[in-house]
A and B are shown apart, each in its own frame.
Chain A
Amino acid sequence: MGQATRNIANSFTTSGVITSSAVNNTTISGITDINDLGGSLILISEQTASADASVSFTSGIDSTYDEYWFILNNIHPSGNTGGLGINFSTDGGSNWNVTKTTASFVAMHAENNAIAQIIYENGYDLAQSTADQEICQNIYTGNDESISGIIKLYNPSSTTYVKHFISNTQSYFASARSWHHLIAGYCNTTSAINGVIFRFDTNNMDDGTIQLFGVK
């Protein structure tokens, strides 16, 4: 105690103001509420991919928030691959096979200007399917090639409603194209969704981060 009280002087300026070194992350770890002065985006967890077969979130998705955001940054496969998929679980990740109906379309533009169009993608939507929904296509292994974007999931804990989700991603398509992919759909279940998985259809997730936020 003596040592602490002697050093307390180092935690104040001569005018008595608390110095920056006196308070750190540990100091404020006990604060769980500050009069709602914080923002609306609450970081729940973050995962960094490193040659992983998948990245999944099986905690933190509950009734705490009405809306959850997954922010993907520079997700990159270990080998040339078809696409990054998303699926959902109602049993904490034991199964990733929730029935979904979705719509999928993409705006694309090639670096050489050979292609510039917006199209609906019949081969990449789902009609009452339990398969993964691809949120991008043909990401290759060039070090600078990846996908980034945001997926929003609404009211996952409801036992009344189907669970809508909206995906908005931008990726570097294999043949040097900018690929803006827009998908929306719903998990056609009234069971609570409590898990979300991201995985490439082939190969591992070599790099990139996925953050899970709750929207207050």
Chain B
Amino acid sequence: MGANTRGFANLLNTDGTFLSGAINNTSVSGITDLPTAAKSDLVPIIGYGLGNDAAMEHIDGDRSGVAVFDGTYDAYCFTFTNVRPTSDNVDFQWNASTDSGSNFNVTKTTTDWAAGHDEGEVFTSGNLSYDVDADLTQSTGYCRIARGVSSDTDHGVCGELWIFNVASTTHVKHFYSRVSQNDRNNFLYDQHTSGYLNTTSAVDGVAFRFNSGNLSTGDIRVYGLK
């Protein structure tokens, strides 16, 4: 005890405050949760590394409960880092589930628009356009996030998708996405999509895929907003 006391005293300033060495990673290793007020607004939930997968599914309760997608958070953010397809000229898209991933077919109404500009200005000068062929009108189909994505090894999709209040049984579920992407003709697209899942059932899963071929490489990370 004497040694402890002496050691303890060495971790004190003369005014009694603790020195920098008094608390370290070991000291706080027993803390596994913080009061809500002390937590960050944006909480990392899980990250998925892609490797020639047909789809990436995030289902509430999967991965031994790590994959949270319920009323724990008011909003969820999916970030995309260099998501690249195995096939060239394919659309990156997503859908939602209300039955824990048995079906990905929630009814949606969406908008889809982009600013585009190609490297060589071969096709046209830059432009801003609404894409009437890509929006959805009460459709259960997959919603496009990125168009005609290139499979070149240095290309991909980067950006994010936000989905709000997924556990609500009162409201439809709004969402929006914005990505920067390369298409097959070396076009840069600043691609925007927004809409709502037209259901008052709780949404408990999402799936990402390309409309043809697989998810070759990249990362998709999931965050919850407190």
Contacts and interface: CB of A to CB of B under 8 A. Distances in A.
Given A40-B44, A105-B115, A154-B158, A1 B127 contact: no
Given A102-B188, A183-B190, 5 more contacts: A29-B20, A127-B119, A154-B158, A154-B180, A184-B188
Interface stretch (B25-33, B51-59, B98-106, B207-215): B25-33
Interface in A7-47: 7-11, 21-24, 26-41
Contact of A7 (B12, B32, B121): B12
A102 B156 CA distance: 15
Contacts of B84: 161
Interface in B130-159: 153-156, 158-159
- Chain B: number of interface residues, binned into ranges: 35 or more
Nearest to B153: A160
B39 A160 contact: no
Contact of A23 (B5, B18, B21): B18
B33 A37 contact: yes
Contacts of B108: none
B82 A155 contact: yes
Contacts of B14: 3-4, 7
Contacts of A66: 79, 81, 219, 221
Interface centre among B12, B29, B159 (most CB of A within 10 A): B12
B117 A11 contact: no
B190 A184 contact: yes
Contact of A31 (B13, B25, B114, B178): B25
A118 B127 CA distance: 12
The 7 closest A-B pairs by CB, nearest first: A39-B40, A7-B16, A184-B190, A164-B158, A103-B115, A120-B128, A154-B158
Interface of B: 5-6, 9-10, 12-25, 27-29, 31-34, 39-44, 79, 81-82, 84, 114-121, 125-128, 153-156, 158-159, 178-182, 186, 188-190, 219, 221, 223
Interface in A134-171: 154-155, 158, 160-162, 164-166
26 contacts: A4-B13, A4-B16, A11-B12, A22-B16, A27-B17, A34-B28, A37-B31, A39-B39, A39-B41, A40-B44, A103-B190, A118-B128, A120-B126, A125-B117, A127-B120, A127-B121, A128-B119, A161-B156, A164-B156, A164-B159, A166-B158, A166-B180, A182-B115, A183-B190, A184-B180, A185-B180
- Chain A: number of interface residues, binned into ranges: 35 or more
B154 A36 contact: no
Given A103-B189, A104-B126, A165-B180, A41 B40 contact: yes
Interface centre among B15, B115, B180 (most CB of A within 10 A): B180
B75 to A, nearest CB: 13
B6 to A, nearest CB: 7
Contacts, number: 184
A7 B13 CA distance: 9
A94 interface: no
A177 to B, nearest CB: 18
Given A161-B154, A162-B154, A166-B180, A10 B22 contact: no
A26 B12 CA distance: 12
A114 interface: no
A67 interface: yes
